[in-house]
Protein backbone atom coordinates (compact mmCIF):
# COMPACT_ATOMS: atom_id res chain seq x y z
CA UNK A 1 0.00 0.00 0.00
CA UNK A 2 1.32 3.44 -0.90
CA UNK A 3 0.47 6.88 0.48
CA UNK A 4 0.04 9.45 -2.28
CA UNK A 5 -1.27 12.44 -0.29
CA UNK A 6 -1.69 13.52 3.31
CA UNK A 7 -4.45 15.94 4.36
CA UNK A 8 -4.80 17.32 7.91
CA UNK A 9 -8.25 18.83 8.49
CA UNK A 10 -9.40 20.64 11.66
CA UNK A 11 -12.79 20.17 13.38
CA UNK A 12 -14.34 23.02 11.40
CA UNK A 13 -13.37 21.38 8.11
CA UNK A 14 -10.51 23.71 7.23
CA UNK A 15 -7.37 22.38 5.62
CA UNK A 16 -4.38 22.73 7.98
CA UNK A 17 -1.71 20.80 6.12
CA UNK A 18 -1.41 19.03 2.80
CA UNK A 19 1.47 17.00 1.34
CA UNK A 20 1.70 15.39 -2.10
CA UNK A 21 4.00 12.38 -2.20
CA UNK A 22 3.97 10.52 -5.48
CA UNK A 23 6.17 9.68 -8.42
CA UNK A 24 6.78 12.42 -10.98
CA UNK A 25 4.30 12.61 -13.80
CA UNK A 26 5.09 11.10 -17.13
CA UNK A 27 4.67 13.86 -19.66
CA UNK A 28 4.53 13.31 -23.40
CA UNK A 29 5.98 15.84 -25.83
CA UNK A 30 5.23 15.66 -29.52
CA UNK A 31 5.77 17.89 -32.55
CA UNK A 32 2.64 18.51 -34.63
CA UNK A 33 1.99 19.93 -38.09
CA UNK A 34 -1.13 21.81 -39.15
CA UNK A 35 -3.96 20.81 -38.73
CA UNK A 36 -3.80 19.41 -35.22
CA UNK A 37 -5.29 15.89 -35.17
CA UNK A 38 -6.38 16.16 -31.52
CA UNK A 39 -9.50 17.98 -30.36
CA UNK A 40 -8.66 20.39 -27.55
CA UNK A 41 -11.30 22.01 -25.32
CA UNK A 42 -11.11 24.41 -22.35
CA UNK A 43 -12.06 22.78 -19.05
CA UNK A 44 -11.55 24.15 -15.54
CA UNK A 45 -9.24 26.97 -16.72
CA UNK A 46 -7.06 24.48 -18.62
CA UNK A 47 -6.88 23.24 -22.19
CA UNK A 48 -7.37 19.47 -22.27
CA UNK A 49 -7.62 16.76 -24.91
CA UNK A 50 -11.31 16.07 -25.55
CA UNK A 51 -11.03 13.62 -28.45
CA UNK A 52 -8.22 11.61 -30.03
CA UNK A 53 -5.50 9.50 -28.47
CA UNK A 54 -2.05 8.73 -29.84
CA UNK A 55 1.56 8.18 -28.78
CA UNK A 56 0.85 8.30 -25.04
CA UNK A 57 -1.43 11.33 -25.27
CA UNK A 58 -4.78 10.44 -23.71
CA UNK A 59 -8.18 12.08 -23.33
CA UNK A 60 -8.04 14.26 -20.23
CA UNK A 61 -4.37 15.20 -20.57
CA UNK A 62 -3.76 18.94 -20.31
CA UNK A 63 -1.47 21.13 -22.40
CA UNK A 64 1.51 21.82 -20.11
CA UNK A 65 3.95 23.57 -22.49
CA UNK A 66 4.14 24.88 -26.04
CA UNK A 67 7.53 25.08 -27.76
CA UNK A 68 9.25 24.60 -24.40
CA UNK A 69 7.46 27.52 -22.68
CA UNK A 70 5.15 26.60 -19.81
CA UNK A 71 1.42 27.19 -20.23
CA UNK A 72 -0.39 29.03 -17.45
CA UNK A 73 -3.99 27.81 -17.55
CA UNK A 74 -5.36 28.85 -20.94
CA UNK A 75 -2.56 31.33 -21.72
CA UNK A 76 0.89 30.84 -23.22
CA UNK A 77 4.00 32.34 -21.64
CA UNK A 78 3.62 35.52 -23.71
CA UNK A 79 -0.08 35.97 -22.82
CA UNK A 80 -1.74 34.55 -25.95
CA UNK A 81 -4.71 32.21 -25.73
CA UNK A 82 -3.59 28.60 -26.33
CA UNK A 83 -6.50 27.69 -28.61
CA UNK A 84 -6.00 30.83 -30.75
CA UNK A 85 -2.26 30.11 -30.96
CA UNK A 86 -2.88 26.55 -32.14
CA UNK A 87 -5.54 27.67 -34.66
CA UNK A 88 -3.03 29.82 -36.58
CA UNK A 89 -1.22 27.83 -39.32
CA UNK A 90 1.75 30.24 -39.18
CA UNK A 91 2.75 28.86 -35.75
CA UNK A 92 3.39 25.34 -37.05
CA UNK A 93 5.31 23.06 -36.65
CA UNK A 94 4.71 23.28 -32.92
CA UNK A 95 5.98 21.14 -30.05
CA UNK A 96 3.34 20.50 -27.36
CA UNK A 97 3.88 18.77 -24.02
CA UNK A 98 0.85 16.95 -22.57
CA UNK A 99 0.34 15.41 -19.14
CA UNK A 100 -1.90 15.23 -16.11
CA UNK A 101 -2.33 18.61 -14.46
CA UNK A 102 -1.55 19.19 -10.81
CA UNK A 103 -4.34 20.15 -8.45
CA UNK A 104 -4.64 23.86 -7.73
CA UNK A 105 -4.79 25.19 -4.17
CA UNK A 106 -8.53 25.70 -4.48
CA UNK A 107 -9.05 22.12 -5.71
CA UNK A 108 -7.03 20.81 -2.75
CA UNK A 109 -9.23 22.80 -0.34
CA UNK A 110 -12.40 21.38 -1.93
CA UNK A 111 -10.99 17.84 -1.76
CA UNK A 112 -10.06 18.24 1.92
CA UNK A 113 -13.50 19.61 2.80
CA UNK A 114 -15.11 16.46 1.36
CA UNK A 115 -13.33 14.39 4.02
CA UNK A 116 -14.86 16.48 6.82
CA UNK A 117 -18.45 15.43 6.28
The whole-number pLDDT of residue 29 equals 83
| 10 φ/ψ angles, rounded to the nearest 5 degrees | -80, 180
Helix (H, G, I), strand (E, B) or coil at 112: helix
Work out the number of other CB atoms within 10 angstroms of the CB of residue 62: 19
- Rounded to two decimals, what is the model's pTM? 0.69
**Which domains are assigned to the chain?**
1-24+103-116 (no CATH), 25-101 (2.30.42.40)
- 66-105 residue pLDDT tens: 888 888 888 888 888 888 888 889 988 999 888 887 777 7
Amino acid sequence: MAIFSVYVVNKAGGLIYQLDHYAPRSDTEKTFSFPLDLVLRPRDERVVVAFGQRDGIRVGHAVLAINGAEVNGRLTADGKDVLEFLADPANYPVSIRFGRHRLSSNEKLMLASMFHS
